[in-house]
Amino acid sequence: MIPLLYNITDLIAKKWSMLILRIIYEEKEVRYSNITARLTDITPKILSDRLTELQQKGLINRNVTNNKPVDIRYTLTKKGKGLVKAITPLAKWAQKWIK
C-alpha cells in the first residue's frame, strides 16, 4: 500500500501538474497558448516538461494536426479524467479548511 501511495503522490505533487490537468479537464481540448494564458507564472520550459511528463504517465494525449501551421491540442485520457475526478473531493476539502 505504501509504495502505491508514493506513486500517486509522484503523479500529483509536482508544481503545476494538477493545475494543468484541471485546465485541460475544464476546456476538454486545449492548446499550449491557452494554458500559458491561464498560468501566467509558469515558465515555458516547466510547462513543456510537465506536459511531457503527464503524457508519458498516460494522463493526457497530445494531438497533432497536419495543418499549416501545425496545431497541437491536449486532451485528458480516461486515466487522466479518473485522476481529476478522484482529486476533486480533496480540492473541495482544501477550499473549505485551508485558508
Domain spanning 2-97: which CATH class is it, in words?
A: mainly alpha
Q: What is the pTM of this model?
A: 0.81
16 dihedral zone (left: phi>0; alpha: psi -120 to 50; beta): left
User: CA 96, CA 90: separation in Å to the nearest integer?
Assistant: 10
| Angle at CA of residue 63, ends 66 and 23, nearest 5° | 135
Nine-digit cell string for 71: 496545431
Domain boundaries, the chain: 2-97
Q: What is the pLDDT of residues 62-99, one digit of tens each?
A: 998 877 788 889 999 999 999 888 888 888 888 888 87
CB atoms inside a 10 Å sphere around CB 60: 24
The radius of gyration computed from the CA coordinates of the chain, to the nearest angstrom, equals: 14
